[in-house]
Amino acid sequence: MKPWIELARAPAPGGGELSLHRRDRELVIRVDGQELMSSRRHASEDHLAAVGCAGVGAGRVLIGGLGMGFTLRAALAALPAGARLVVAELSAAVVAWNRELLGPEAAATLRDPRVRLEVADVAALLAEPRGYDAILLDVDNSPHALTQPANRSLYAAAGLAAAHRALRPGGRLAVWSAERAPAFSRRLTAAGFAVELHDARAHRGRGATHTIYVGRRPR
């Protein structure tokens, strides 16, 4: 098997180090050596966008976490020309990798006229309610097994309350998680959301099973 080749390295927001690696046609991003995402296994990110954007139409969507751009790409595929998407990515390095190192499709996704990219903490955007029709969050491994402890507040009561305020009535919050977290379901309910759980395989019907939490704000 061919070895991994490191393409880039940068400080991770909140501490630690991000690195980008390639082996043959596969790319992975790691934090302190732990794999965060892979270009081969993104079916659950695609599903996050599909369930999060269902019924949104030409609405406004906030995506927390750019990653390798798969959630954004799937959201664009699900939404019409009149939709508007704001993407909050805390790491300027990850943005640069999408534009320069992940290939032409990733770079083209960021040039879509429906997209506005902000190098910012998604929590800061949630603190300024703007009437989103959908909010998609994929900023860590799960609401309870975090690679970056600073993300904990996003999934806690205050963060979920901010997401609730930032949504229009009838809007939905979709959250990616590597596994089920019953306590997170209870926090969503306590924040005023009607909760659904969706299972999604990591890679085209196989691989690990991930969980998509969908919280609907009542009309």
User: Would you list the domain boundaries of the chain?
Assistant: 40-216
CATH superfamily assigned to domain 40-216: Vaccinia Virus protein VP39 (3.40.50.150)
Q: Are 58 and 90 in contact (CB under 8 A)?
A: no
Among residues of the chain, what percentage have pLDDT more than 70?
A: 98
SS3 of 213, please? Answer: strand
Contact of 134 with 217, CB cutoff 8 Å: no
Weakest-pLDDT range from 68-82, 144-158, 162-176, 193-207? 144-158
Q: Which residue has the tokens 């691989």?
A: 207
Q: What is the mean pLDDT of residues 170-193?
A: 94
- Rounded CA-CA distance 67/37 in Å is 7
| pTM score, whole prediction | 0.94
E strands present in the chain: 5-11, 17-23, 26-31, 34-38, 60-64, 84-88, 115-118, 132-137, 167-177, 194-203, 206-216
pLDDT band at 141 (very low <50, low <70, confident <90, very high): low
pLDDT for 143 equals: 82
Contacts of 173 (CB under 8 A, 6+ apart): 52, 134, 135, 137, 160, 163, 164, 167, 188, 193, 213, 214, 215, 216, 217
Q: In the sheet where 194-203 sits, what is the strand order?
A: 115-118, 84-88, 60-64, 132-137, 167-177, 206-216, 194-203
Mean pLDDT of all residues in 171-190: 93
Of residues 203 and 114, more confidence is placed in 114
Task: Tell me how far apart the alpha carbons of residues 32 and 143 are, in angstroms, rounded to a whole number.
Answer: 19
| C-alpha–C-alpha distance, residues 146 and 95, integer Å | 21
207 burial (CB, 10 Å; 0-12 / 13-18 / 19+) is middle
